[in-house]
């Protein structure tokens, strides 16, 4: 069954999975001189987005919740972005062969419609990439895998001259966005200065907390897989402290109930009109 049930804002309406997020036209939502920043996660009902693997000591998306239907929507969100915001940790995992996938948009035939969509909307074949890192511990071999797109390294004043020089010697642009750490408001200004209109954040819970706490995240897309995982060592969608709770405003909610997966797809706004 390809169709899913829309629960909100219009309940009991059947929708096709394909194109569900693509119709949002996220790349066209920002006003002139502004940028739209959005994030996306898949979690179990008890909030696990990743579990610590005992063998590798890495945090990985549990096989019990990862599924192709959620991945299709992940790709649709990527297809609407001018730039993808990721972390040095992703590139370290990529160098070790442990990353979930190379940064989309995917090249498999099932994603041909997404490449066509980008062309129709005047976007590049692939989104550019901003790597957020205070340490600049980024393997050169992994960065070479994304030479088909523009890569910007975003760091703080803590980065050493030698580390910055190593990045620049690889032909990469290194820009500062904070003193002790990369700061959300400075990152947003950097995105605007680079003429990006839509930015898709796919980094971990620490970067996510920065964007939420600094008030620069516009949308959160959350897939909730209807299962309980348990486990004592895990990540949720945020890490660290918030000075105060951040309200989420539900925009859309869908129920996906198939033989292979039972999950909810939700879109939340952090700054509703």
Cβ contacts of 183 within 8 Å, gap of 6 or more: 156, 177, 210, 214
Q: Mean pLDDT in the chain?
A: 89
Range of the domain at 112: 3-269
Average the pLDDT over 35-59 and give the result: 91
Percent over 90 (pLDDT), the chain? 61
Asked if residue 225 lies in contact with residue 48, where contact means CB atoms within 8 angstroms, the answer is no
Residue 148 tokens, joined: 């088909």
Average the pLDDT over 57-83 and give the result: 92
For residue 260, the tally of other CB atoms under 10 A from its CB is 8
The residue among 213, 197, 87 whose CA lies nearest residue 153 is 87
Q: Where are the alpha helices (DSSP H) in the chain?
A: 68-79, 88-95, 112-120, 140-143, 161-169, 184-193, 205-213
Q: How confident is the model at residue 103 (pLDDT cuts 50, 70, 90)?
A: low
Residue 145 has pLDDT above 80, yes or no: no
Residue 11 has pLDDT above 90, yes or no: no
| Number of domains, the chain | 1
20-38: per-residue pLDDT in tens? 999 999 999 999 999 999 9
Per-residue confidence (pLDDT) for residue 209, from 0 to 100:
94
Per-residue confidence (pLDDT) for residue 260, from 0 to 100:
77
The residue among 56, 30, 32, 89 whose CA lies nearest residue 208 is 89
Q: How confident is the model at residue 92 (pLDDT cuts 50, 70, 90)?
A: confident
Q: How many CA atoms lie within 13 A of 265 on its CB side?
A: 23
Per-residue confidence (pLDDT) for residue 99, from 0 to 100:
62
Residue 236 has pLDDT above 90, yes or no: yes
Q: How confident is the model at residue 189 (pLDDT cuts 50, 70, 90)?
A: very high
Average the pLDDT over 75-84 and give the result: 96
Average the pLDDT over 62-81 and give the result: 94
Per-residue confidence (pLDDT) for residue 117, from 0 to 100:
95
Residue 1 has pLDDT above 60, yes or no: no
Q: Which residue has the tokens 């062309």?
A: 119
Asked if residue 77 lies in contact with residue 221, where contact means CB atoms within 8 angstroms, the answer is yes
Average the pLDDT over 202-228 and give the result: 95
Residue 175 tokens, joined: 């820009």
Per-residue confidence (pLDDT) for residue 59, from 0 to 100:
82
pTM: 0.93
CA distances from 198 to 29, 36, 242 (A): 8, 5, 25
Residue 47 has pLDDT above 70, yes or no: yes
157-183: per-residue pLDDT in tens? 878 888 888 888 888 889 988 888 899
For residue 103, the tally of other CB atoms under 10 A from its CB is 22
CATH code, 120: 3.40.430.10
């Amino acid at each position: 069954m390809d169709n899913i049930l829309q629960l909100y804002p219009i309940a009991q309406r059947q929708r096709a999975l394909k194109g569900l997020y693509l119709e949002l036209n996220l790349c066209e939502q920002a006003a002139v001189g502004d940028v739209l920043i959005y994030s996306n996660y898949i979690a179990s009902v008890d909030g696990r987005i990743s579990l610590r693997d005992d063998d590798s000591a890495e945090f990985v998306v549990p096989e019990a919740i990862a599924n192709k239907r959620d991945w299709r929507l992940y790709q649709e969100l990527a297809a609407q972005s001018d730039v993808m915001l990721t972390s040095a940790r992703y590139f370290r995992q990529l160098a070790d062969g442990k990353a979930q996938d190379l940064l989309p948009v995917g090249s498999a035939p099932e994603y041909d419609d997404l490449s066509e969509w980008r062309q129709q909307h005047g976007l590049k074949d692939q989104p550019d990439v901003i790597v957020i890192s205070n340490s600049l511990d980024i393997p050169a071999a992994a960065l070479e895998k994304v030479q088909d797109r523009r890569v910007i390294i975003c760091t703080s004043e803590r980065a050493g001259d030698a580390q910055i020089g190593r990045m620049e010697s690889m032909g990469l642009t290194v820009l500062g966005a904070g003193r002790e750490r990369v700061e959300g408001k400075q990152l947003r200004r950097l995105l605007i200065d680079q003429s990006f209109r839509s930015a898709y954040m796919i980094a971990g819970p620490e970067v996510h907390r920065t964007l939420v706490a600094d008030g620069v995240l516009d949308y959160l897309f959350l897939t909730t897989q209807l299962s309980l995982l348990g486990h004592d060592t895990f990540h949720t969608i945020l890490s660290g402290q918030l000075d105060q709770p951040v309200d989420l405003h539900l925009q859309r909610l869908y129920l996906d109930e198939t033989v292979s997966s039972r999950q909810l797809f939700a879109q939340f706004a952090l700054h509703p009109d």
